[in-house]
Amino acid sequence: MVKIFSMLLMLTITLFSMSSFSMNQCIHDIESHVVKERGGRGWPYYYYLRVASCDLQDRDMPAIVAFLQKRNDITHLNLSGNHFTAEGAGILANSHLELTVIDASHNDLGDRGAIIFSQLQGKETWYATQLDLSQNNINDQGVQALAENTTWMTLGLDRNHIGDAGIIALAKNTKLENIYLNYNDIGNDGAVELARLTRINKTLRTIEVGWNHIGKIGLNSLKSLKDDKIIWNLWIDGNDGLSQD
């Protein structure tokens, strides 16, 4: 009986140990997911780790971080279309990586994950300026936290649940240059206040708020920004006010 119990115990320990390591094929072949991309002026090329749509989970994040720490020439990371939660975001955020672009869209980060990314400001080894958190079930609470971080220059927040309070908070950020908020819950009040604050801050260059609930008054306020050449790019298709003309 003791021998059988010992064998069962060893089997349990073995299975537990196996479960703690990633068995994901993308992780096993992670080197093959590194792409060399052509850069822009003053930056001839950069390395991009793309592990999008790989069915990855939080338990896979330590392996990704370990690889990135070994390959510190990688500056762009694409984690889109996986199953990462705030736990995975926390592991990445505490990794002290020299990333400049992070695409974590189409995951399960929620407000907690957004708040974790918002707390990266001031970390000496954190260089990221572009963050995509589209389709992550983020509400105004998460966006208000992100808005307090002046590290981000570009924020992708399409297909979340962001309303007027969230967009007004973003408009107060004096470093943001590009915001993408298509398919959210923004209305007239948010659009009017966004336009007002943009005229004051004069930092935003791109505003995308297509397929929200902005009426004619809000749309006219935003259009005036483009007409007065305060912003360069404006996307407002699919809003309620367009059907009122």
Least Cα distance to 64 among 38, 33, 105, 18 occurs for 33
Q: List per-residue pLDDT tens for the chain, 245 residues long.
A: 545 444 443 443 343 333 444 578 999 999 999 999 987 766 678 899 999 999 999 999 999 999 999 999 999 999 999 999 999 999 999 888 889 999 999 999 999 999 999 988 655 556 789 999 999 999 999 999 999 998 899 999 999 999 999 999 999 999 999 999 999 999 999 999 999 999 998 899 999 999 999 999 999 999 999 999 999 999 999 999 887 65
Least Cα distance to 112 among 94, 85, 135, 134 occurs for 85
> What pTM was estimated for this model as a whole?
0.87
Instruction: Please name each of the domains of the chain with its CATH number.
Output: 34-244 (3.80.10.10)
Measured between alpha carbons, how far is 36 from 68 in angstroms, rounded to an integer? 15
**What is the token pair recorded at 70?**
């070994």
Least Cα distance to 74 among 53, 105, 95, 57 occurs for 95
- The per-residue pLDDT for 243 is 79
Sheet with strand 130-132: strands edge to edge: 34-38, 45-50, 74-78, 101-103, 130-132, 154-156, 178-180, 206-208, 233-235
- The per-residue pLDDT for 41 is 65
Q: What is the DSSP string of 50-95?
A: E-TTS---GGGHHHHHHHHHH-TTEEEEE-TTS---HHHHHHHHTS
Residue entry with tokens 């907690």: 112
- The per-residue pLDDT for 38 is 86
CA angle 217, 193, 114 (to 5 degrees): 125
**CA-based R_g, the chain, Å:** 21
